[in-house]
Amino acid sequence: MPSKPIKKTIGVMTSGGDAQGMNAAIRAAVRGALIRECDVYAIYEGYTGMVDNLIKPVQWESVSSIMQHGGTAIGTARCQRFRQFSGRLRAAENLLKYGIDNLIVIGGDGSLSGADVFAQEWPQIIDELFKQGKISALKRKRHPELRIVGIVGSIDNDMANTDMTLGADSALHRITGAIDALSSTAHSHQRVFVVEVMGRNCGYLASMSAIATGASYAFIPESPPPDNWGQTLCRQLRTARKAGRRDSIIIVAEGATDRRGNPISSSRVKEVLDQNMGMESRLTILGHVQRGGAPSAFDRYLGTASGVAAVSELLKNDGESRIIVMKDNRIKAVSLRETVAKTHAVAEAVKNCDFKQAMALRGSGIMNSVLETLSLPGAPGRGCAGKQRTLALITCGWPAPGMNNALRTAVRLGLAQGCRMLGIKQGAEGLINNDVHEFGWMDVEEWVASGGSKLGANRTIPNEEEFKTVAATVKKHKIDGLLMIGGWTAYIIAERIDRMGEIYPELDIPVVCVPASINNNLPGSELAIGADTALNTIVEAVDKIKNSADTSRRVFMVEVMGRYCGYLALMSGLATGAEYIYLHEQGIDLKLLQEQLKKLTRGFKKEGRDIGLLIRNEKASEAYTMDFIAQLFDAESGGLFDVRKTILGPMQQGGDPTPFDRIQGTRLAYDGMLQLFEKLKSGDKTSAFIGFCGSKSSVYPMRELGSMVSRTHQRPSGQWWESLVNIATGLAIKPNI
């Protein structure tokens, strides 16, 4: 018989600067560990709490209702004493009082480097504690090593081996919100604003917020400006002013330097502008606002998935300390030591002014060259393969937030390449009715932050007869290629155009589809433009709904969009702590509902629960409708709770796009246009769709569409997020522990 694994004792702590999403990680680590029958302790106030013995056992309820809040519920600090060996000695002595030799450390680069040193020194530390008579021989024998799993919590997004760190997405929400607000006053006064953002020596927040707000320039540590940056900047601003831009936003990363490593401060940038532009600029230092406020949906997901993965890593028992990272949209564990070393290598490269190396080590996160194309009306390029081409843009399906930034990117990239850029109004109706307009550089200037589609979009799919007039429109405007930004409708139209080329030679042109749908139901792309905004809208609404019940015993049932794709339901359920999530992919039956009802009532009766949350996808089941489930639970609750229903409706499609959707709009439109250029150069007239799987962009021939989707349910055949259902509800329902 296999021996029962020894029960682990795990300490959970947060350290260094706080970051939004830390609470989701704490909740998931604590509950994940309790589910796996571990003893769990919270170490309060970071390493200070370890040195001063602020360590307390935690239970399931200790981490209730914390996920939606910013900061960290268990406190954090930057502790000098832990940097000394004597401090680490006391910290270890305190940990051993509770038998803790497994740690989940949620923190930034400094905190995780400290953890790595601590784990390496552990054998020496326990020998010393034994020598000093502070621990017994048995204790020394029982705890020969300290296992550490790190979760990167830092708004800076400066850790190697991971695409995102906890808090970076929420910080981008704060920054884009602030810059959107500044833009309107800057626009009214035709002013230049210099905005300083955080990030230490990492330019991620500066670079990404510049893309997401349509800023004119970003100073970042990894890619310093040329020596004559003052002149260059002023020249660029003047050129854009001449083209018609009214407001200019310059973003300065707090760690920005020149090519010799001398700091370029935001106040210096303002000074240079004031002296050379003949106008007074304004300076805004965003400061700690960036680290505050509610975590975004993504940070709640990242925290939750990382917390669960951290526990699994600790239970593997293979000795090496690990760090949980997100690479290509997947949660993974990698070596803590190697990651810390690689992170320090970037900082070293920046310090040594080896900027090429710094950019290479940072990976794909920094997009400064893209920013230049989007913000500068330059001399147009020579076209594709030496010829001026005409490219048309169209949005089809329901509008998705972020579409406008995708259009802006495509227009400006096309113009920079010397193409004539056309916009087709009202989706396919514009093709049928010849509603086509030519774009100038300034036409898309203010599109970066607005929701919906400025071109108009709908679900019209031309019929056989109408394709004749579609072909006439394409011929009339001499369209060489088409970029379609949209949802399922766009893909079906593109597929038909691909076939119609055999009947109408005018339609024998390349079409590239860019995924944009709040449903996130498109093949070849794990995240479509618009889904993140819808998700955040749902999460904010559910936070408010839950809040409204602070004093009553109530179960809320919220129905969300997505058609037959459960992405929005699942991810919003995960990010708001829903007890049950109903998806079409999983189905609903009476037995399931009876079991759920039993567990829910037990929670209200025996565990002091006073609120419950159920999230249902709009097409989860034809038989078990929202009304049916709500009435069943209400009637069978035995008076323990009542059930309130909310259908969120079209608000999920509206609103300003989130930073992620703006950035995703830029990335995807940029790649879509590059595909079109390639096709025009090579003479390839087949259609395709593109997408991002993690940070990698891929392209698929349109003829493969059928093999990658379920046409009946209009969703991809396999969906990456489906396995998250168990994590989501597993952490919300207390097991019998």
Q: Which residues bind ligand F6P (CB under 6 A)?
A: 17, 108, 154-156, 198-200, 254, 291
Query: CB-wise, 294 or 493, nearer to ligand F6P?
Result: 294
**Which residues does residue 695 pair with via DSSP β-bridges, in sequence order?**
none
Nearest to 12 by CA among 65, 61, 63: 63
Q: What torsion do the CA atoms of 479, 483, 486, 489 make, to the nearest 10 degrees?
A: 50
For ligand F6P, the closer CB: 105 or 240: 105
**C-alpha to C-alpha distance for 676 and 669, rounded to whole angstroms:** 10
Q: Which sign, positive or negative, has the C-alpha torsion 704, 706, 710, 711?
A: positive
Would you say 177 or 440 has its CB closer to ligand F6P? 177
Q: Tokens 């300076």 appear where?
A: 283
> 19 or 732: whose CB is closer to ligand F6P?
19
- DSSP labels, 476-492: HTT--EEEEEESHHHHH
What is the widest separation between alpha-carbon atoms in the chain? 91
Nearer residue to ligand F6P within complex by CB, 156 or 222 = 156
Residue 647: Cβ within 10 Å count: 12
In whole angstroms, the minimum distance from the beta carbon of 538 to ligand F6P comes to 28
Q: How far is the CB of 205 from ligand F6P (least distance, A)?
A: 8
Residue 255 Cβ vs ligand F6P, minimum distance, rounded to whole Å: 8
Cβ proximity to ligand F6P, 17 vs 515, nearer residue? 17
Nearer Cβ to ligand F6P, position 156 or 247?
156
User: Of 18, 116, 156, 247, which residue is the catalytic one?
Assistant: 156
Backbone angles phi, psi at 628, to 5 degrees: -60, -50
Q: Is 153 helix (H, G, I), strand (E, B) or coil?
A: strand
Would you tell me the crossing angle of helices 204-213 and 168-189 to the nearest 10 degrees?
Answer: 50
Quote the Cα angle for 511-515-519, to 5°. 145
For residue 315, the one-letter residue type is: L
What span, in angstroms and rounded, lies between the C-alpha atoms of 279 and 282?
Answer: 10
Residue nearest to ligand F6P (CB): 198
Closest to 160 in 3D by CA, of 381, 336, 297:
336
469 contact partners, CB below 8 Å, separation of at least 6:
431, 432, 433, 434
CB 392 within 8 A of CB 479: yes
Q: Which of 616, 612, 665, 664 lies closest to 641, judged by CA?
A: 612
**Cα–Cα nearest to 719, from 522, 561, 587, 539:** 522
Residues 63, 64, 65, CA angle at the centre, nearest 5°?
115
Query: Which residue type is seen at 239?
Result: T
CB of 263 to ligand F6P, least distance (A): 13
Which residue's CB is nearer to ligand F6P, number 247 or number 299? 299
**Which of 19/538 has CB closer to ligand F6P?**
19
Q: What does the radius of gyration of the chain's CA atoms come to, in whole angstroms?
A: 27
Question: C-alpha dihedral over 425, 431, 433, 435, to 10 degrees?
Answer: 30
Shortest reach from residue 728's CB to ligand F6P, in Å: 29
Q: Decide if 340 contacts 116 (C-beta within 8 A).
A: yes
156 has catalytic annotation: yes
Q: Given the complex with ligand F6P, which of 221 and 414 has the nearer CB atom?
A: 221
- Give, to the nearest 10 degrees, the angle between helix 229-243 and helix 266-277: 60
The distance of closest approach from Cβ of residue 288 to ligand F6P in the complex, given in angstroms and rounded to an integer, is: 6
Distance CA 387, CA 518 (A): 37
Residues marked as catalytic:
156
